[in-house]
Amino acid sequence: MEIAREQIDYCMECGVCTGSCPVSRVLPVFSPRQMIKRVLMDRDETVLEGRELWACLTCATCSSRCPAEIDFPEFVREHREVARKRGNLPQLSHHGALQAIMSLQTRKISQHRTDWAKEIGRFKKAADIFYFVGCAPYFDAALKYGATSLQMAGSVLRLLNRMGIEPAMSDDERCCGHDALWSGDHATFRRLAAINLEVIAGAGARTVLFNCPEGYITFKTEIPKYFGSLPFEVMHLSEFLARELPGAGLTFKCEENGNRVVTYQDPCSLGRKAGIYDPPRKLINLVPGVRLEEMPRNRENSVCCGTSAWIECSECSKTMQIERLREAAGAGASTLITACPKCGIHLACAEQNTDITLKIEDLYSFLLDRVE
């Protein structure tokens, strides 16, 4: 990533990135500006060999506020790619199980990726709308925290069916490649992307829907950088449902007490990286008897769920997650709604070791449970 002289002059006189960074708040030695400064002083080695490169959440809080418009997450991604080649690797979460699954999916393998859906709803091998499920089946095999990722996927399929939509789904779909890309494993990312593009083309899809924000942003912004313009429309499910659900003929039942207070966690990839803030809120507000209360830090100021790409889950991550849970409880909410499977997993995991009693519920299950 090239940084212009004008950006450098601004950067060296500013500290907005470090002051904004959620990692810097709990890990004082971490500073985005200092990392850039060291590279500009021809000291790439200290960055490429250090652990700070892996501590970054790539949450884009810094770049969204940077007056010089420096894309720090991209700076980190590029340096991670070089660092990996030199043997500086991230600390893998969950014993590296999810990275092993990603690697296996680059090969010619037989999957039963849609078996769960056959008992839940209706789908086809080919259709105008393709539902990209992502790694939910594998998340459930490796992790058990709160509501399962497949519960979210099942709610999506049921909602689409209730709207009269039978999407295409495929056993040959692979991981979107997000985690490989942001862990510096560019080769794995490219192989996964190539397979997925072939699968979607084979289904004849004109629109591809994602409930995972990371899958969405990977197809929306990253894959086109390497493969060119995509021959289909990419939409996050919250966008699609906010547009289509009000006219789909479905009605929502009122909450029993008529005054349920919920709050919403903006995922980094959906919010700061994609600019999608209103659609999830519009969907929540479709349910009568529910009051959405915002946390003090929301929308573009929302806080990351504490870890990314299944790497570097640390005491720093837990501190951030518990702080966020307390913020949700402080908003008076009994339920924290997420639109990201990873946010749900990370926050539910952290909650287990606290005295906080929040129901953590994904957006699509929340909606489905309240459809008449």
Mark whether 207 and 101 lie in a shared domain: yes
List of residues 6+ apart from 209 with CB closer than 8 A: 129, 130, 131, 132, 156, 167, 235, 236, 237, 240
From 44-58, 86-100, 135-149, 347-361, the region with the lowest mean pLDDT: 135-149
Which CATH number does the domain housing residue 80 bear? 1.10.1060.10
Q: What is the mean pLDDT of the chain?
A: 91
Q: Which has the higher per-residue pLDDT, 187 or 141?
A: 187
Which residue range forms the structural domain that includes residue 178? 94-244
C-alpha 264/C-alpha 202 separation (Å) is: 36
Provide the pLDDT for residue 241. 98
Average pLDDT score over residue span 19-42: 86
**What is the per-residue pLDDT across 277-286, written as a single tens digit (0 to 9) for each?**
999 999 999 9
Indicate the pairing of strand 335-338 with strand 290-292.
unpaired
Mark whether 271 and 213 lie in a shared domain: no
Mark whether 296 and 226 lie in a shared domain: no
Average pLDDT score over residue span 199-209: 98
Which CATH number does the domain housing residue 150 bear? 3.40.50.1860
DSSP 8-state code for residue 219: I
From 26-30, 60-64, 83-87, 335-339, the region with the lowest mean pLDDT: 26-30
pLDDT higher than threshold 80 for residue 142: no
From 3-7, 166-170, 175-179, the region with the lowest mean pLDDT: 3-7
Q: For residue 351, name the pLDDT band (cuts at 50, 70, 90).
A: very high
Q: In what order do the strands lie in the sheet with 233-236?
A: 129-132, 207-210, 233-236
Choosing from 85, 111, 142, the residue where a domain stops is 85
Mark whether 184 and 278 lie in a shared domain: no
Average pLDDT score over residue span 136-156: 79
Average pLDDT score over residue span 300-312: 91
Two tokens, residue 12: 């060296």
Choosing from 61, 85, 109, the residue where a domain stops is 85
Mark whether 160 and 291 lie in a shared domain: no
Provide the pLDDT for residue 4. 61
Provide the pLDDT for residue 2. 59
User: Which one of 144-153, 222-231, 315-324 scores highest in mean pLDDT?
Assistant: 222-231
Q: How many domains does the chain have?
A: 3
Q: Which of 137, 127, 148, 121 is nearest to 175 (CA)?
A: 137
C-alpha 132/C-alpha 178 separation (Å) is: 14
Mark whether 255 and 343 lie in a shared domain: yes
Q: Which of 330, 262, 266 is nearest to 303 (CA)?
A: 266
C-alpha 21/C-alpha 372 separation (Å) is: 43
Provide the pLDDT for residue 145. 57
Q: For residue 152, name the pLDDT band (cuts at 50, 70, 90).
A: very high
Mark whether 78 and 120 lie in a shared domain: no
Average pLDDT score over residue span 37-65: 87
Count H helices and E strands in the chain, helices first.
21, 7
Mark whether 104 and 233 lie in a shared domain: yes
User: Which one of 6-20, 38-52, 65-79 scores highest in mean pLDDT?
Assistant: 65-79
Residue 29, amino acid? V
Provide the pLDDT for residue 173. 97
Neighbours of 164 (CB within 10 A): 8
Mark whether 78 and 135 lie in a shared domain: no
DSSP annotation string for 254-322: PPTTS-EEEEEE--TTTTTTT---HHHHHHHTTSTTEEE---SS-GGGPPP-S-BTTB---HHHHHHHH
Average pLDDT score over residue span 207-211: 98
Which CATH number does the domain housing residue 294 bear? 3.40.50
Mark whether 181 and 219 lie in a shared domain: yes
Supply the pTM of this predicted model: 0.93
Choosing from 85, 108, 123, the residue where a domain stops is 85
Average pLDDT score over residue span 224-253: 96
pLDDT higher than threshold 80 for residue 1: no
Mark whether 59 and 30 lie in a shared domain: yes
From 22-26, 43-47, 269-273, 285-289, the region with the lowest mean pLDDT: 43-47
Q: In what order do the strands lie in the sheet with 290-292?
A: 290-292, 260-265, 335-338, 359-362
Name the percent of the chain lying above pLDDT 90. Answer: 71
Indicate the pairing of strand 129-132 with strand 207-210.
parallel
- In angstroms, the Cα distances linking 271 to 4, 54, 61, 290, 298 are 27, 22, 10, 22, 9
Mark whether 100 and 238 lie in a shared domain: yes
